[in-house]
Structure 1
């Protein structure tokens, strides 16, 4: 049941001053402006977060929770953008596009990973922000950890030179493509468009305007043995692509309750052949333009053996 693609542990960051981020609203079409009391929004987001943590733990996933009590990091509930972990003991730290998102990086998370898991090295790309470069982690890249492919939508959140550097360091093949929504706007993060499980892949192929590249992406997914679940733009708008496969007591697909409601029975049937759906209700958090997958920083590291007295 275990899978290189589906980690059994995640890092999550509990927000204490959640709100949609004005610094990212320019290119995140999934974001909606806050119209109600900011304090009430924050309380509701925290409640949704705690319920999601409880559901994940109940399903057997190890969840490492950190608290963000700062007021300058409205998107900190989405930690998958600033770091990622990789089999063999590797960690990457990423440069962020929006200045206030750069403040989300916290070294206590990295120290926790070193204490609890086997870490060989940490490669820190964040200094490249000074050169105006960004590569926003597993938001900008959807990683096939089995086939070693980094699917990446062209955007200002994924610099091509930095992507090549990451792929060289971490042994991935970059597969870059354009993606646009129904209004012709660039998709800002790859992980709202697609998600890769062990035996299936979720993607909205119609949002790839280049038909040849569309066919190449679909073929590449199928070559790695996955059944392609072709989502509609409407399903993408409901965050059906923003899902992460995890390993708990069984293999799971964590995604929002709204996303599950948007899936068709035949699509659910394909997923359920190898994973159980784990819907999490996070409507307030989704107003920030991200969903369940963005909240989960998967830990692809080997746990340290606990010393016994």
Structure 2
């Protein structure tokens, strides 16, 4: 879910009066405690506020479904919520709006810190690379030139993707694993650490004989974008029991596949395994129409996976 969409969800259920009150509450630091927990795709956000009479506190509980992109539960024990709350519409008092706004703020901080550090590193790295390149170019030292030549002849690493359908508890999702290498492909054993290390241009041990370093290896632009998506996804996913995979819900599989366009993947679907390419175009269907007596039969010999 985009940050703008998350903000829209909060503001859509807010009145102007309650929104102003919520901002006043946050500015006056009346939010005493704030906690977040995640179960599947649902974030539970809890707040504890000073009450109107200052003799007791107000407690809030907000549930946001990141797949459905909506608030599915809201509760506060303040007097305003008790008087106005009604069943068929989500009502947010000033305390619930404050809880939602604080959640948006925390998400922004987490993403901005990562983006700021990454952009700063890229700027510094580009400047150093340019200075280093001109130093090498103008050098009269043959050994230094040879060393520089090796430095700028980096090898491109490929990312292979394996997707397996998982059916459990009357729901469907997909386990995704990644393999990296040139000729020999190595399974990634900790996806979050791997993606974070590559994004921050840190050395990372991939497998026997293959240690990623920015001086020796690089990824294509498409794979760099894939790595950014993977890392952002791991920030909010709850799959600590198995670091070798990320679990993609069926509802957002299409969004994930958009990051794999023109890439060949291994797909285990409906108990069959396919080596296929991800495409974003019309399916090349062809049909055979036969007449048998007074009836017509329309058939196709190709079997396609749709999503």
TM-score category, normalised to shorter length = under 0.3
The structure that is helix-richer by fraction is 2
Q: 1 or 2, which has the higher strand percentage?
A: 2
TM-score (norm 1): 0.24
Task: Compare relative contact order (CA 8 Å, sep 6+) and give the higher one, 1 or 2.
Answer: 1
Query: Please, what TM-score do these two structures have when normalized by structure 2?
Result: 0.24
